[in-house]
Chain A
Amino acid sequence: MTEWSFDVQTMTEPLLKITSVTKRFGGFTALDGVNLAVAQGERFGLIGPNGSGKTTLINCISGALRNEGGSIQFSGEEVSKLPAYQRTRRGIARSFQIPRPFTSMTVLENLLVPLEFVAHRNSLLRPDTRAEAMEILQSISLADKAGTPSNQLSQVELRKMELARAMAARPRLLISDEAMAGLSGNEIDEVLGILFKLNETGITIIMIEHIMQAVMRFSQRVVCLDAGKIICEGTPTTIVANADVQRAYLGA
């Protein structure tokens, strides 16, 4: 089933198209000519051992870093020279590996930032952003924490708030950077459920994850990075069976 949908999706123009993207830090090449295409509505998994360049790649996509060579196209537009906030406004949202809440604000206020700066930045009328934020919080059952200062949240609540804040930017592409690290089994299921639900509303999702079970369950297609290069691409089942991936992970 998944293999089918993948074939169909690549027929149309991809939402995100990365062509030979390179990034160096001093003498160290973190990304070495990476090519990728993510289709509209896809659930895409990005895996790889520590230091393989996953986070560098999504930093380049979201604009936290500038890539040196290659191009990044988002729905047909070159975005690799744009500052991060412009990319967010065009529909690329992300969560952070280590959650980065706005600590002086409550959970609700955290969501108001993207609502005011992205979704409603041009509205002349004052839309009820608070009600909208509440709605998002309800959809991920975090509404009871709306008034809690964000520095008093538990790990799973922080993860959920990060996702909620990304959702509030009304993205077309959501990059989830290890949103499940450090969570228990039940909590992982909960976060996975949220991501599935988001995907059903048409949001394309790139998931970076160390927890293999989660990626494999979630993704329609998986790419494995190693030392800044894509070593393998395919459905979860083919990836798991791939010899290169096993070598990269086990170091054999």
Chain B
Amino acid sequence: MDLLLDAIVLGLLVGCFYAAVSVGLSVAFGLLDVPHIAHPAFLVLGAYGTYMLNRMGWDPILAGVALMPAFMLLGIAVYRFYYETFERRGSDAGLRGLAFFFGVVFIVEVGLVMVFGVDQRLVEAPYIGKSLAVGDMRLPLRLLVAFAMALVLTIGLSLYLSKTFTGRAIKAVAQDETALRLMGANPVRIKQWAFGIATAVTGLAGALLIIVGPVEPTIDRVYIGRTFCVVVLAGLGSMSGTLVAGIILGISESIVLTLLGASWAPAVSFGLLLVMLGIRPQGLFGR
């Protein structure tokens, strides 16, 4: 029983972290409808960026924040490119857009392998390696830090989308592009900005990724499952849903881990994703 309680608490912490690594995708795929299968690869890119800055003595979270402007620009550039080459030309955009991002995944992976090698990489910080005793439980401090940051990130983005003018415009563009165009706003520019924000958030989330555990160039593959699982589970584009979905995934994974062992872990998110697609593709909170 204690084991199960442990699993649930750990799952809750990890789940918020999963939400944080997925919010970027929730905007890019859920709201903007970009088949961004390279999202996890960008996440890993953020983790390696953090690793580099950490080697220069930066705190990983600070490093993640510092990466955000660069990632923002990257996101804007990627969306602009995607728009010009696929979205604007219309037909076949689905097939070719997907193939494009799939190609990007492998380019990023191999690029990282060539620069950093296949070995696992870690960051150093005062809160990594220590743990906090709560009752009988020992909670790793790095998880708690990631948990807190994840909450800030997810709630922050959610507030940005619902409270600010630009945020609302982003949500509007997802619902009715033509109406927005009639109102005189430029949907492409809004989408470009939104994709930039999503990518910037992903950069910071990448820092959390390497705080939570060691990172290797192909770790993005597991996160294809985790991030898409969270986004689909939440219902496309639902920010509050993302947090709940992340926690559901986190707890499920941690229970499976406890009961069946670590070798089954990768199948949990993908399995949950498949089940959702089969029975309720609109997600838990979708219409």
A binding-site residues for B, Cβ under 8 Å: 25-26, 103-104, 151
Is B91 in contact with chain A by the CB < 8 A criterion?
A: yes
Q: Please give, as numbers and ranges, the residues of chain B lying within 8 Å of A26 by CB-CB distance.
A: 287
A103–B287 touching, CB < 8 Å: no
Given the complex of chains A and B, what is the CA–CA distance between A104 and B91 in angstroms? 9
Within the complex, the shortest CB–CB distance from A202 to chain B, in Å, comes to: 36
Given the complex of chains A and B, what is the CA–CA distance between A103 and B92 in angstroms? 10
A151–B91 touching, CB < 8 Å: yes
Q: What are the nearest 5 A-B pairs in CB distance?
A: A26-B287, A103-B91, A151-B91, A104-B91, A25-B287
Q: Please give, as numbers and ranges, the residues of chain B lying within 8 Å of A104 by CB-CB distance.
A: 91
Given the complex of chains A and B, what is the CA–CA distance between A3 and B196 in angstroms? 62
A–B Cβ pairs within 8 angstroms, 5 of them: A25-B287, A26-B287, A103-B91, A104-B91, A151-B91
Q: Is the interface of B mostly helix, strand, loop or mixed?
A: loop
Residue of chain B at shortest CB distance from A103: B91
Given the complex of chains A and B, what is the CA–CA distance between A88 and B148 in angstroms? 56
Residues of chain B from 191 to 248 with CB closer than 8 A to chain A in the complex: none
Given the complex of chains A and B, what is the CA–CA distance between A247 and B81 in angstroms? 48
Within the complex, the shortest CB–CB distance from B8 to chain A, in Å, comes to: 33
Q: Please give, as numbers and ranges, the residues of chain A lying within 8 Å of B91 by CB-CB distance.
A: 103-104, 151
Residue of chain B at shortest CB distance from A102: B91
Given the complex of chains A and B, what is the CA–CA distance between A103 and B91 in angstroms? 8
Inter-chain contact total with CB atoms closer than 8 Å = 5
Q: By the criterion of a CB under 8 Å from any partner CB, how many residues of chain B are at the interface?
A: 2
Residue of chain A at shortest CB distance from B90: A103
Q: Please give, as numbers and ranges, the residues of chain B lying within 8 Å of A25 by CB-CB distance.
A: 287
Within the complex, the shortest CB–CB distance from B90 to chain A, in Å, comes to: 8
Given the complex of chains A and B, what is the CA–CA distance between A115 and B137 in angstroms? 70
Residues of chain B from 263 to 277 with CB closer than 8 A to chain A in the complex: none
Residues of chain B from 83 to 114 with CB closer than 8 A to chain A in the complex: 91
Given the complex of chains A and B, what is the CA–CA distance between A25 and B287 in angstroms? 9
Residue of chain A at shortest CB distance from B287: A26
Q: Please give, as numbers and ranges, the residues of chain A lying within 8 Å of B287 by CB-CB distance.
A: 25-26
Given the complex of chains A and B, what is the CA–CA distance between A151 and B91 in angstroms? 10
Q: Mark B55-94, 1 if CB is under 8 A from A, else 0.
A: 0000000000000000000000000000000000001000
Residue of chain B at shortest CB distance from A27: B287
Given the complex of chains A and B, what is the CA–CA distance between A25 and B91 in angstroms? 27
Given the complex of chains A and B, what is the CA–CA distance between A26 and B282 in angstroms? 12
Q: Mark B253-287, 1 if CB is under 8 A from A, else 0.
A: 00000000000000000000000000000000001
Given the complex of chains A and B, what is the CA–CA distance between A151 and B287 in angstroms? 35
Within the complex, the shortest CB–CB distance from B147 to chain A, in Å, comes to: 34
Given the complex of chains A and B, what is the CA–CA distance between A15 and B91 in angstroms? 36
Given the complex of chains A and B, what is the CA–CA distance between A69 and B199 in angstroms? 44
Q: Please give, as numbers and ranges, the residues of chain B lying within 8 Å of A151 by CB-CB distance.
A: 91
Q: Please give, as numbers and ranges, the residues of chain B lying within 8 Å of A103 by CB-CB distance.
A: 91
Residue of chain A at shortest CB distance from B286: A26
Within the complex, the shortest CB–CB distance from B274 to chain A, in Å, comes to: 24
Given the complex of chains A and B, what is the CA–CA distance between A114 and B91 in angstroms? 21
Given the complex of chains A and B, what is the CA–CA distance between A103 and B90 in angstroms? 10
Given the complex of chains A and B, what is the CA–CA distance between A201 and B33 in angstroms? 45
Within the complex, the shortest CB–CB distance from B154 to chain A, in Å, comes to: 25
Given the complex of chains A and B, what is the CA–CA distance between A93 and B286 in angstroms? 32
Residue of chain B at shortest CB distance from A104: B91
Residue of chain B at shortest CB distance from A151: B91
Given the complex of chains A and B, what is the CA–CA distance between A151 and B92 in angstroms? 13
Residue of chain B at shortest CB distance from A25: B287
Within the complex, the shortest CB–CB distance from B261 to chain A, in Å, comes to: 43
Within the complex, the shortest CB–CB distance from B92 to chain A, in Å, comes to: 8
Within the complex, the shortest CB–CB distance from B88 to chain A, in Å, comes to: 14
Within the complex, the shortest CB–CB distance from A104 to chain B, in Å, comes to: 8
Residue of chain B at shortest CB distance from A26: B287
Within the complex, the shortest CB–CB distance from A56 to chain B, in Å, comes to: 16
Given the complex of chains A and B, what is the CA–CA distance between A235 and B270 in angstroms? 59
Within the complex, the shortest CB–CB distance from A70 to chain B, in Å, comes to: 22
Within the complex, the shortest CB–CB distance from A101 to chain B, in Å, comes to: 10
Within the complex, the shortest CB–CB distance from A19 to chain B, in Å, comes to: 27
Given the complex of chains A and B, what is the CA–CA distance between A26 and B287 in angstroms? 6
Within the complex, the shortest CB–CB distance from B253 to chain A, in Å, comes to: 32
Given the complex of chains A and B, what is the CA–CA distance between A240 and B91 in angstroms? 41
Given the complex of chains A and B, what is the CA–CA distance between A26 and B91 in angstroms? 29
Within the complex, the shortest CB–CB distance from B45 to chain A, in Å, comes to: 36
Given the complex of chains A and B, what is the CA–CA distance between A25 and B282 in angstroms? 13
Within the complex, the shortest CB–CB distance from A61 to chain B, in Å, comes to: 24
Given the complex of chains A and B, what is the CA–CA distance between A181 and B210 in angstroms? 56
Given the complex of chains A and B, what is the CA–CA distance between A194 and B130 in angstroms? 80
Given the complex of chains A and B, what is the CA–CA distance between A143 and B287 in angstroms? 46
